[in-house]
Chain A
């Protein structure tokens, strides 16, 4: 029995992972088509707007196989991306994949704690609002949530920076560490947290608003289900009823977070630009400024593949928590 069950699970996970292959293939194909249809020579997109000599261009053409038929080029493109070769950055002349890999941890340091804390708080607020639907309290929370996700993070970020960092001086205005007085150990951690606080809170308001709204709707719906009515009829305490409803209401949150991953990352890169946080957003900003096409393409490909994988991961987690999904 035990063996059969874990077998089912393994089959489910393998199936879900295999399902990412066609999507990833499409993502790579899209980026290939983009390079082909972009105005000007693909070579501009691949190496940037320098002034390479004719000999250099010929050398790059031969190396990248640009003198070969299109289907051979497509094949080469696939092969290179599978080898994590995203070309060379024009501005900083390093491999694109290394530049991205170097900045990714900083982006995650900003994104993950904020996502975790404010998702939990947002859900709590939503559940609280759902206990008395359409009351004044609930309506106020709903309107605040709409206002919360109507402010673009970069607008909120600029205002928070002005008020809390520039005028009140409570937080540093830019960057991730104080390079003028480098500290290590606990002092270094405190320094990092001081730099992290403001951008993380700004980023978090969005999760707070979106998740409060989601949890509220899901909870109201769950509390209206037959099994809740029957649990109440059987004399189950209100606390226990809420707990039962909460469990069922919150399972889809896993999927929602997965589907919103691209949104979450977008918010993070925009906040990074406001606060000079040295992550992927800053890298992207500099790449746009320097017309660094290989780096911009690389960022798109990595993020798009990341989205496909995160979606698969959240589906798998959902399947682990809820057997109905994996046996469907």
Chain B
């Protein structure tokens, strides 16, 4: 662990990513308790530029952009997190089963994963959310159900190589149950690769929710960054601030996750670590 921090701190870009991510997470968790205005109330004139009263201006209905941005941070990150958690849970379980069981089950699961990867994800998500209704539950479920294959394939390949290791053979000979072999012996050793994949899943889920909301398939009960961009599109030339801040939020969070994932990935490559 000390070794991990030693190498991690040397990767300045990954550290920057981690710092931005921590800040955005704090904003998402604590921010909504300190909102300057009710994010749903009409507290100013429509499209007021940034001022002392409204630091990020007001939107087309006279709602405070800062308040909506802070709530949007919570919504976008929570949706991204839950969707990524869904896809990781599904992907790790199915990948572990495929890699550990092998044979026909493996074949079947991997063919299914490949088929899912051929389907155009955004267009399928668009149809599903349009048909089943744009609620956060549906959006989270759709993103999760469409994103598991890459996690499953990664988990499977880790399992395929780890299950043949001597220490696994040894604990099996000691009579450990299959579940304990999987959860106590193999999964912890697959963790580094899976953590990188989790960062990518998280950033991908935030992007997909933002894109769906941007094309008009957002859940209007709470504002997300993507929904703010959707309403900003109509008034873009009159009120740049309505688009700029949520766009910046998406960019910073997604970039932070990608930089962090990249850095962690490099650390697993001993050749690069020596440098």
Beyond A143-B13, A143-B259, A285-B216, is A134–B122 a contact (Cβ under 8 Å)?
no
The residues of A with any CB-CB pair to B shorter than 8 Å are: 23, 26-27, 30, 34, 38-39, 45, 134, 139, 142-143, 146-147, 149-152, 154-155, 158-159, 161-162, 166, 173, 262, 265-266, 270, 273-274, 284-285, 288-289, 291, 293, 296-297, 299-300, 303-304, 307-308, 311
B107 to chain A, nearest CB (A): 15
Among candidates B124, B127, B215, B255, residue contacting A150 with C-beta atoms closer than 8 Å: B255
Contact across chains for A152 and B207 when beta carbons are under 8 A apart: yes
Is B118 part of the contact surface with A, judged by Cβ < 8 Å?
yes
Bound together, the chains give a CA A28 to CA B2 distance in angstroms of 53
Bound together, the chains give a CA A23 to CA B244 distance in angstroms of 42
A91 to chain B, nearest CB (A): 13
In the complex, the number of residue pairs spanning A and B with C-beta atoms less than 8 Å apart equals 125
Contact across chains for A161 and B236 when beta carbons are under 8 A apart: yes
B263 to chain A, nearest CB (A): 10
B67 to chain A, nearest CB (A): 21
Beyond A39-B133, A150-B258, A285-B216, is A297–B120 a contact (Cβ under 8 Å)?
no
16 A-B pairs besides A270-B214, A288-B130 with CB distance below 8 A are A142-B262, A146-B259, A158-B229, A158-B247, A159-B247, A166-B236, A262-B121, A262-B122, A266-B211, A270-B215, A273-B215, A273-B233, A285-B215, A297-B127, A303-B120, A307-B120
Is B115 part of the contact surface with A, judged by Cβ < 8 Å?
yes
Bound together, the chains give a CA A30 to CA B259 distance in angstroms of 36
Contact across chains for A311 and B243 when beta carbons are under 8 A apart: no
Among candidates B124, B215, B240, residue contacting A300 with C-beta atoms closer than 8 Å: B124
Is B251 part of the contact surface with A, judged by Cβ < 8 Å?
yes
Bound together, the chains give a CA A22 to CA B207 distance in angstroms of 31
Contact across chains for B250 and A155 when beta carbons are under 8 A apart: yes
Residues 67-96 of B, flagged 1 when their CB comes within 8 A of A and 0 if not, give: 000000000000000000000000000000
Most buried by B among A147, A265, A300, A304: A300
Contact across chains for B203 and A27 when beta carbons are under 8 A apart: no
A308 to chain B, nearest CB (A): 6
| A-chain residues with CB within 8 Å of residue B232 when the two chains form the complex | 158
